Amino acid sequence: MQYVSTRGQAAPMSYSDALLEGLATDGGLAVPVEMPEASGEQLEAWRDLTYPELAAEVLGLFATDIPRDDLARMTAAAYAGFPEGVVPVREIEDGLSLVGLSEGPTLAFKDMAMQFLGQVLEYALEERGWVQNILGATSGDTGSAAEHALRGKERVAVFMLSPQGRMSDFQRAQMFSLDDANVHNIAVAGVFDDCQNLVKELAGDIDFKRAQHIGAVNSINLARITAQVVYYFWAWLRATDAGGWTEVSFAVPTGNFGNILSGLYAKLMGLPVRRLVVATNENDVLDEFFRTGVYRPRGSAETLATSSPSMDISKASNLERFVYELVGRDPERLAALWAELGESGSFDLSAEQPRFAAEFGFVSASSTHADRLATIRSVHEATGEIIDPHTADGVKGARANLEPGVPMLSLETAKPEKFADTIREAIGVELDCPEDVAAMLAAPQRVTEMADDADTLRAFLEENALH
Q: Are 255 and 311 in contact (CB under 8 A)?
A: yes
User: Which spans in 10-109 are helix H?
Assistant: 15-21, 40-46, 51-62, 68-78
Which residues, including other chains, have CB under 8 Å from residue 143's CB and lie 6 or more apart?
136, 137, 160, 162, 171, 175, 185
Q: Are 4 and 14 in contact (CB under 8 A)?
A: no
Distance CA 395, CA 387 (A): 9
3-state secondary structure of 215: strand
Distance CA 34, CA 215 (A): 24
Q: Are 379 and 292 in contact (CB under 8 A)?
A: no
Q: How far apart are the first and last CA of the chain?
A: 30
Distance CA 362, CA 353 (A): 10
Distance CA 407, CA 392 (A): 18
User: Which listed residue (110, 267, 396, 415) is catalytic?
Assistant: 110
Distance CA 106, CA 125 (A): 25
Distance CA 245, CA 302 (A): 44
Distance CA 86, CA 273 (A): 22
* CA 207 remoteness from chain centre: 28
Provide the 10 A C-beta neighbour count for residue 152.
10
By DSSP bridging, strand 273-280 and strand 347-348 are unpaired
3-state secondary structure of 422: helix
Distance CA 121, CA 126 (A): 9
Has 110 been annotated as catalytic? yes
Distance CA 247, CA 275 (A): 9
CA dihedral 142, 323, 288, 419 (to 10 degrees): -10
Distance CA 296, CA 277 (A): 19
Q: Are 98 and 86 in contact (CB under 8 A)?
A: no
Distance CA 335, CA 278 (A): 24
Q: Could you give the residue numbers annotated as active site?
A: 110
